[in-house]
Each structure stands twice: as structure tokens, then as C-alpha cells.
Structure 1
Amino acid sequence: MQCDYFDAGRCRSCTLMGSPYRDQVADKATRAAAALAGAGPGLRWLDPVTGPEAHFRNKAKLVVAGRAGAPTFGILDPGGRGVDLRRCGLYEPGLAVTFDPLHRVVSALGIEPYDVPARRGELKHLIVTHSPDGEHLVRFVVRSPEAVALLRAALPEVTAALPSARVVTVNVLPEHKAVLEGDTEVVLTDDTHLTMRLPGATLLLGPRSFFQTNTRVATALYAQAAAWADHLSPTTVLDLYCGVGGFALHLAAPGRRVVGVETSAEAVGAATAGAQLNGLGSPEVEFTTGDATQDLPGAAPELVVVNPPRRGLGADLTAWLDAGDSRHLVYSSCHLGSLARDLGAMPSWRPVEARVFDMFPQTTHLETAVLLERR
């Protein structure tokens, strides 16, 4: 992949830019195998799953900078000035086409971009998600409630400029700190969820919902977990860190009960609605709000699926899994270090099959899924 921004030194986020994609994937597979070399003998590695090396991101997290009437959408340079990246080649074509219409709307509104060095201004970020159906979830991250009123009044202009905007929200982040969003989310549209129609299941994404940034590779990840489950034929499945139900809804099958646990009540609501959309309901599939490290069932499920954040499972959950009676475990990880540490803390489990999913081309990041069985 060639990138004018990278070549000009304006953006260096893609640390592997210029490296042949085949070499990137091979290096990731080598690093994954080395990281898990101590997890036990006999681990079989399936061929890595890849997608396009460009135009793969379904979500844009754009810093808004510049000045009122002439904003930049992209990143900040070391001095805190905006670098416009609307022509970045990482985004899906259906996502990239939203940037110019939204730029025209923001410019016409005259809303002042937030100036990080000066700590003044209003509009901080623009976050846009693209669905397989060509629809969008658009989030404006602002500093004050006054901007919420401004954007609410401007909703007709936003939807006229971008008719595919199914969900439009405003997030309020009053503090000056290096985070993407605040605690307050105001939905401006009648629709509150973006439909993500995948081959194996349809998911519903709320404004704060997590979904893998690469739809094509995420589809393969869910399919791999479903294939492992279908081979094992468990009657009970526990999906921890279930989010909006990506794994749970793909693993649902006749004669199988799937329970998902997630801390976010919003995500659990979206997962429950997603189950209904897929024609599933209790007791086949059930989602509950709780802490995956604490709110655990008494009876051991036959299969456990975990998809934790980068920090991994933690001591309490690895201890529970290691001491339990579940027969199989699927661990999906975005961080090799925490994955290797967690597997080392669970000596009762033996990894039998693993696969690298290249969710993040042009970077060193990768997703790894591992199937384990009780020793």
C-alpha cells in the first residue's frame, strides 16, 4: 500500500507502511507462534486470515481541529495542530465518502474546533461507523451542552448532506484529557442502533458499542469460533465480555444454550435486541449485565468464549477458568502479551488450535484466536 500522507511525513500511524503485505502477515504469524511457544506442545496453527491491505476500516475516529469554517478531520501533529486525513486509504469506500459531506456541514455551522494547546473550542472528535448495508452511525464529540443544542437544530442539514446517516448522536466531553468520548450521549435520531448485517448473524451497534474495525476479518473470526463450536457440539456456552453479542449470536444453534455476560447495560440491550432480530430468545440465547471477572455462573458451561480487552483476563478469571469443569475454551485476543500470560496462568488447559486474524494491516497489531481443551 502506498500513502501520500506517510510519504510526506504528515502521518506515521501505519508503522508498517511500505512493507510488502505478505511479509507483514508472515511476521505476525511468526510472532504469534513465538509468543505461545511455551503454552504447551502440539498446538496447530491454521493459515492466517487476511483481508484487503487497504480500504478495510469500518470506523473512523477523527480529531477535529483547525478553525471555525475551515476544520481539519484527522489527527494532531506534535504541536497540537490539525492534520487533515480525509483521503486516508485505510477506510472502506462507503465510509470515506462521508467525510466531505460532513466537513461541509461542520464548516457551514461555524462550530469552533477544539484547540488542544489553548484548551478552548467546542468540537473535539467526529466518529463515523459504516455498515455492510451502506448506512452510518455519526457521533459528534463536543465540549458543552450548548453544542448539543446547535447540532440538534442542525440535524436536518446533517441528514440532508448524508442521507445514509441512520443514527446521529452528540457526546459531551467537557474535560481536557486524552480520551475519545465523555459519559453523556445524546441521540438525535429516532433510530438508536446501526444494523451490522453479517453472513452469520445480524448485530446492532449502539453509539458506544464495540465492534471489530475490519468487517471482513471479523466475519471470519466469528465463523472460526462457530466452526470450533459446531465441531465440539456443546449444549451450554458462556460468552464473557460478550459486547453486542458477536460471538454469542454466531454460536447459537438448536439444542444449545448460550449466555453472554457484559458490563455495559447498553451493549446487553443491543445484544438482546439483536437476538430477537435473529429470531433467537430465551432460553436459547440470553444476555446479562455483569462483571466477567466476578459475576460467574455456578454450573460450568461446556464451552467458554472470552474476548477480553488488551489487558487480558486477570487473576480472578484465569483462576476460575483453571479450576472449573468446562471442557473447552475459545480465547480471542488482541494482545499477544496478555494472551500468553493468561494461558501460562491456566495450566489445566491445553491449546490445541490457533489462528492469526490480520484485523489491522499496516500495523504490528493482530487478533489471535485459540481453541483450548481441558488437560
Structure 2
Amino acid sequence: MQCGYFDSGVCRSCTAMGTSYRAQLDAKLSHLRDLLKPWPEATWLPPMPSSPSAFRNKAKMVVGGTTERPTLGILDATRHGIDLTGCGILLPGLTAAFPAIASFIGQARITPYDVPSRKGELKNVLLTESPEGAMMLRFVLRSTEPLGRIGKHLPGLLTDLPQLSVVTANLLPEHKAVLEGDEEVPLYGETLAMRLDDVVLHLRPASFFQTNTPIAVGLYRQAREWIEEVGAHNVLDLYCGVGGFALHVAAPGRRVHGIELSAAAVESARLSAAEAGLLDVTFSVGDATALEALEGLDAVIVNPPRRGLGANLCAMLDASGVETVIYSSCNATTLAADIAAMPAFRPARVRLFDMFPQTDHYEAMVLLQRR
């Protein structure tokens, strides 16, 4: 894709911008093959490509400028705002919503936070869009000071953007380089429903969900296919988040349990399971790295953060009676290290999913089977 922001040097966040999409995908596949060279017996499935543009379902926009003329985008070298509301990797619904949000900032007199002077209120605007066009909007504020004005003008924003399902204020009083704080103030709605195939996931404000919805669907379909293929009856989903993998592999006669550190994500996963009438799909709050045993399981699905599974969990999986591990990874380097730490398993299938076009990042999924 062609990007005016990149060409003019205004934004260089998409590090592979200007490289043909075919070349990007080939480079990622070559990188993954190099990392997994120690296991030449694995079967490689065709990579799942993405649309190279208009794929990102969430916008994380730093707010700059003035109350009357706010910028939504990034900060320049002097820590002042650059407007990126025409960003071509965002879904069109997101970019179409920005003018109404910018207008609302002025109407509610929410002063953009100025990093050099450490004055102002509105730090970031976070916007997520579901496959059906519904949206979650979060205003990241330094304090509660603007909440009264936001509440007063919110009905007008909901009229301008009827697709809003959730609106919140997130409080980030500290001056530090993070996107959001720990406290969320609900203003409208509770969850954003994400319908993927025959599964509806519910996202709360702090819930994690992949940035590329079609690729996320591809991941879930692949996991379901592999679980069906091995005929698993008792499945554990570690780092389950809002239950994407667990809910997609659910089937009559199959017990699925998800474990996730975030209580809000587990609450969302339970809501999705209850709405779908899935009595054999359960979830609990817990730390996957603190598990003491893995018993009575046919298969384990893992989708860890970039740091990977770690030595303890790898050792537990390796020594367990589990026959199948499905490993979904956003960091192929730690994926390869974790596979090496589980010598009782062999990679049977590998597939690359291009979750992040215009960058060097990608998602990989590996079917591991006990030797």
C-alpha cells in the first residue's frame, strides 16, 4: 500500500511500508523457517495472508493539539501531536468515526495532555471496531476532572456515532509512556460483542483481542480443525483471554477449560459460554505459569505473551501425559526456544498467519505431538 504519512517521514511506525506485500510475506516465512530448522520433519501449511491495508480493528491514538483543534495520532520528536486520522491500515469505520470524536473533545472542553509541560487531561483515545461495525471508545484521562462535561455531552456523541456500544474513561494519572491506567470508569454500555463465525466473544475495556479480525478467525479455525483431527475429549486452554480458542474448539462430548490471569477477561469468557449454552466450557482465573499438574488432558492450547511459556511450564508439559499441544505465538523466537525445551514433542504442522502487515511481526501456530 502507499502511505503519505510514511512517504513524507511523518510516521514510520509501519517499518515494512513501501515493501511489496509478497516480499513481506516471503521474508516472514523465511524467518520462521530459519527458527524452526531443527525440526525438518514438520509439514508446512500455506501461510494465511492478510489484506495489506484497512485491516487493523483498533486505533490507539495519542491526543495532541488544542481543545478546539485536537490531533489524534502520534507525537513528534518535540512531543507534540501529529494527526494520523487518515491512517490506511485502520478499518474504514474507525477513520470515519474520528471527526465526531474530535468534535466531541472540543464540545466537552477536554484539554489534550501536553507532554513537555505535563499539563492537560486527555492523553489517548482508544477505539475498537467489531466485525459488525459496533465500537468501543475509551478516553484515557489524567484525572476525573472532565468527567462531568463528558457525561453532559455524551448523548450527543451517541447520536453522532450510534455504533458505539461501550464508552469509558480510563484514568492514567502518572506521567509515563503507557497507553492506559488501571482504573476504568464506565460511561455507557458494558461489552463489545465480536461475532466470529458461530462464536460471539465479549470484550470489556481492558480485554485483549487480536488486532486483525480475519486473521484471528483463521487462527481459531485452524485450532478447531486440529483439535477435531486428534479427537480430543478434554482440552485445556492456557492464556485463554476472553475465550477465543476455548469457545471455538467446543463440541458435544468435549470438555474445555480456560485459564487466564485477567478476572475481567474470564468474566467475559463465561458470559460468552453461557450465552452459547456451552455447559462443558468453563473458565477460571489463574496464572498458567503457576500450575502444579496437568492431568487427564488430551490436548493443551497455549497462546502466551511474547516472552513465551518459560522453563517451568515447558517442563510440566513435556513431563505430562498430554498427547497434543497447539502453540499459537506472536514471537517465533520464544516459540522455537519453548519447542526446544519440550523434546518429548515434535512439530507436526506449522502455519504462519500474517496478523501484522507492513511490519516484521507475524503470528505462528504449531501442532505439537508427543513422539
Deviations 1:247-268 (A, max 9, x none): 0000001110000000111000
CA distance in structure 2 between the aligned counterparts of 1:55 and 1:296, rounded to whole angstroms: 43
The AA in structure 2 aligned to 1:265 is A
- CA separation of 1:154 and 1:369: change in aligned 2, threshold 3 A: same
Deviations 1:252-305 (A, max 9, x none): 011100000001110000000011122212xx1000000011135552411000
Q: Helix, strand or coil for the counterpart of 1:146?
A: coil
Deviations 1:96-132 (A, max 9, x none): 2111111111122221111112111100000000011
The AA in structure 2 aligned to 1:245 is G
TM score, norm. by length of structure 2: 0.98
Matching of residues 323-334 of structure 1 within 5 Å: 323-334=319-330
Q: Percent identical across equivalent pairs? A: 51
The CA deviation at 1:158 is: 2.0
CA distance in structure 2 between the aligned counterparts of 1:35 and 1:200, rounded to whole angstroms: 35
The AA in structure 2 aligned to 1:106 is I
Q: Is the deviation greater in 105-114 or in 210-219?
A: 105-114
* Aligned counterpart, 2:351: 355
Deviations 1:207-234 (A, max 9, x none): 0111110001110110000000111110
Deviations 1:21-59 (A, max 9, x none): 011111111101111112x23011111101211000000
Q: Do 1:126 and 1:141's aligned partners in 2 also have CA atoms closer than 8 Å?
A: yes
Q: Helix, strand or coil for the counterpart of 2:288?
A: coil
* Aligned counterpart, 2:223: 225
Deviations 1:124-165 (A, max 9, x none): 000000011111000000000112333223221221221111
The AA in structure 2 aligned to 1:348 is A
Deviations 1:295-353 (A, max 9, x none): 35552411000000111111211111111110000000001111111111111111110
* Aligned counterpart, 1:269: 267
CA distance in structure 2 between the aligned counterparts of 1:307 and 1:217, rounded to whole angstroms: 15
Matching of residues 87-236 of structure 1 within 5 Å: 87-189=86-188, 191-236=189-234
CA distance in structure 2 between the aligned counterparts of 1:117 and 1:356, rounded to whole angstroms: 42
- CA separation of 1:2 and 1:314: change in aligned 2, threshold 3 A: same
Q: Do 2:295 and 2:320's aligned partners in 1 also have CA atoms closer than 8 Å?
A: no
CA distance in structure 1 between the aligned counterparts of 2:146 and 2:172, rounded to whole angstroms: 11
Q: Do 2:294 and 2:317's aligned partners in 1 also have CA atoms closer than 8 Å?
A: no
Matching of residues 19-58 of structure 1 within 5 Å: 19-38=19-38, 40-58=39-57
Q: Helix, strand or coil for the counterpart of 1:6?
A: helix
Q: Is the deviation greater in 365-374 or in 102-111?
A: 102-111
Task: Mark the runs of 5 or more structure 1 residues left unpaired by the alignment.
Answer: none
1:338 aligns with 2:337: no
Q: Helix, strand or coil for the counterpart of 1:188?
A: strand
Q: Do 1:114 and 1:124's aligned partners in 2 also have CA atoms closer than 8 Å?
A: yes
Q: Helix, strand or coil for the counterpart of 2:124?
A: strand
Q: Do 2:109 and 2:149's aligned partners in 1 also have CA atoms closer than 8 Å?
A: no
* Aligned counterpart, 1:2: 2
The AA in structure 1 aligned to 2:9 is G
The AA in structure 2 aligned to 1:107 is G
CA distance in structure 2 between the aligned counterparts of 1:14 and 1:311, rounded to whole angstroms: 22
CA distance in structure 2 between the aligned counterparts of 1:339 and 1:117, rounded to whole angstroms: 40
* Aligned counterpart, 1:15: 15
TM score, norm. by length of structure 1: 0.97
Q: Do 1:105 and 1:161's aligned partners in 2 also have CA atoms closer than 8 Å?
A: no
* Aligned counterpart, 1:250: 248
Q: Helix, strand or coil for the counterpart of 2:88?
A: coil
Moved over 4 A (4+): none
CA distance in structure 1 between the aligned counterparts of 2:33 and 2:174, rounded to whole angstroms: 42
The AA in structure 2 aligned to 1:294 is A
Task: Mark the runs of 5 or more structure 2 residues left unpaired by the alignment.
Answer: none
RMSD: 1.1
The AA in structure 1 aligned to 2:363 is E
CA distance in structure 2 between the aligned counterparts of 1:139 and 1:274, rounded to whole angstroms: 22
- CA separation of 1:266 and 1:374: change in aligned 2, threshold 3 A: same
Matching of residues 254-333 of structure 1 within 5 Å: 254-281=252-279, 284-295=280-291, 297-333=293-329
Q: Is the deviation greater in 328-337 or in 340-349?
A: 340-349
CA distance in structure 2 between the aligned counterparts of 1:52 and 1:272, rounded to whole angstroms: 32
CA distance in structure 2 between the aligned counterparts of 1:16 and 1:188, rounded to whole angstroms: 38
The AA in structure 1 aligned to 2:26 is A
Identify which of 343, 363, 369 aligns with 1:367: 363
CA distance in structure 2 between the aligned counterparts of 1:81 and 1:30, rounded to whole angstroms: 39
